Amino acid sequence: MGLGNPGPRYELSRHNIGYHVTDLIMQKPPMRLRRRLFASYFYLRLFNFTDRKSIVLIRSAGYMNNSGDILPSVMRRYRFTPEDFIVIVDNIDLPPGVCRLKKGGGDAGHNGLKSLISRMGSSDFYRLYIGVGRPAAGVSVVDHVLGNPEADDSRKILQACVRAADAIKSLADKPVSRVMEELNRREYS
């Protein structure tokens, strides 16, 4: 599940990391998200045709702070449990370009995660964090995450998004524990 905010105003912002990663996953071969009539989310089901294992990409049609609102519908439709989710999200506590995949934890003040935990009733889902760095002195966290990164940080964040997209695609063939180990042991700059 890629977290972000809809609309051109937020398109390149640090907060739209989840949207960036889902876009990268859909580039090769070209794919696009679908939306069921009256649904409040977009989805795309990817299959590994060898054993019919599937990955479902999901993006809310609403804003980050209300990301959890789609969960009852998504969990019912796909019969997901909290452990089935990997949420792709920005993290200000990681330097730009660093990826970390972990299971469980709190919301760390992230309103998208807070909404998901509240609606899911559990924090036992995976989080694929992509570092966006901390704000500069005098810049609020909100302005930082809703702002666009500078050129050097943008390059690092894009590289992290590519690694994250590759990691998500590799879940069709590898267990999440192995993907986590491979992604977390590498440092990039």
Residues classed as catalytic: 15
Q: Which contacts of 117-123 are long-range, i.e. CB under 8 A and separated by 24 or more positions?
A: 117/68, 118/68, 119/68, 119/69, 119/71, 119/72, 120/68, 120/71, 120/75, 120/82, 120/85, 122/82, 123/82
Amino acid at 109: G
C-alpha Rg value of the chain to the nearest Å: 16
DSSP label at 40? S
Max Cα separation, the chain?
53
Please, how many CA atoms are within 13 Å of residue 18, restricted to the half-sphere of its CB? 28
